[in-house]
Amino acid sequence: MANEQSAPYICHIFVCVKSRQGERKSCADGNSPEVKSILKKEVKIRGWADRIRVSECGCLGLCPHGPNVIIYPQKIWFSGVTESDIPEILARVEEEL
């Protein structure tokens, strides 16, 4: 049986990095792997790594609006994310601390 426990993080930032290799639009077309990398680095620089987790994920179902970034459990969703949106995303995360 699975061991159920409380989440160790205040919030979890998921960045869709799904690539469809040009067959149709996907989040990776918008440089989402780099967005994830920068978010992860910035969380570490701010000393939040013990409270905030940044992870990549597969398709979130809104590919035409991507790249998509979601913050859980707060249910905050950012679409059309670019590197210039990272400060706004981090500011929103900071409100949760």
- The count of domains in the chain is 1
pLDDT for res 52: 97
What does each of the 97 residues of the chain score in pLDDT, given as a tens digit? Answer: 999 999 999 999 999 999 988 888 899 999 999 999 999 999 999 999 999 999 999 999 998 898 999 999 999 999 999 999 999 999 999 998 8
Could you tell me if residue 32 is inside a domain? yes
For residues 48 and 78, what is the distance between their CA atoms, to the nearest angstrom? 20
Could you tell me if residue 27 is inside a domain? yes
Could you tell me if residue 52 is inside a domain? yes
Could you tell me if residue 71 is inside a domain? no
Could you tell me if residue 75 is inside a domain? no
pLDDT for res 23: 86
DSSP 12-28: EEEEE----TTSS--GG
Query: Which residue in 48, 23, 27, 47 sits closest to 36, CA to CA?
Result: 27
pLDDT for res 64: 87
Could you tell me if residue 46 is inside a domain? yes
Could you tell me if residue 38 is inside a domain? yes
Domain that holds residue 28: 8-59
Could you tell me if residue 43 is inside a domain? yes
- Residue 13's CB is within 10 A of a number of other CB atoms, namely 25
For residues 50 and 29, what is the distance between their CA atoms, to the nearest angstrom? 30
